[in-house]
Amino acid sequence: MHLRSGDAVRDRRHGRVGVVTDYADTHNGVRLRPLTSGPEWTAEPADLEPVSRRERLRVCLAEVNARSRRSI
């Protein structure tokens, strides 16, 4: 899979969906950030799979809803 900055991917190992922020063949792993907010993490390219726009929207809405429930 060819990765570019801004691509949304599922990290199967961590069970999370994130956006690629940094990818280079010269370092180990791909840097990802959550779709809405939170700390970045590193994943192995072999553990990543692309997500559809529909899945990306579903995850974004779930994150926003969870955050709004915590702030009430």
Please state the separation of Cα 52 from the chain's center in Å.
12
Is residue 51 within 8 Å of 62, Cβ to Cβ? no
- What pLDDT, on the 0 to 100 scale, is given for residue 72? 54
- What is the spatial distance between Cα 48 and Cα 31, in angstroms, rounded to a whole number? 11
Q: pTM for this structure? A: 0.78
User: What's the rounded mean pLDDT across residues 24-36?
Assistant: 79
Q: Which helix (H) or strand (E) holds 46?
A: none
Show the DSSP H helices in 6-71 as ranges.
53-71
- What is the spatial distance between Cα 37 and Cα 19, in angstroms, rounded to a whole number? 11
Residue 24 has pLDDT above 70, yes or no: no
- What pLDDT, on the 0 to 100 scale, is given for residue 53? 92
Is residue 5 within 8 Å of 23, Cβ to Cβ? yes
Residue 29 has pLDDT above 90, yes or no: no
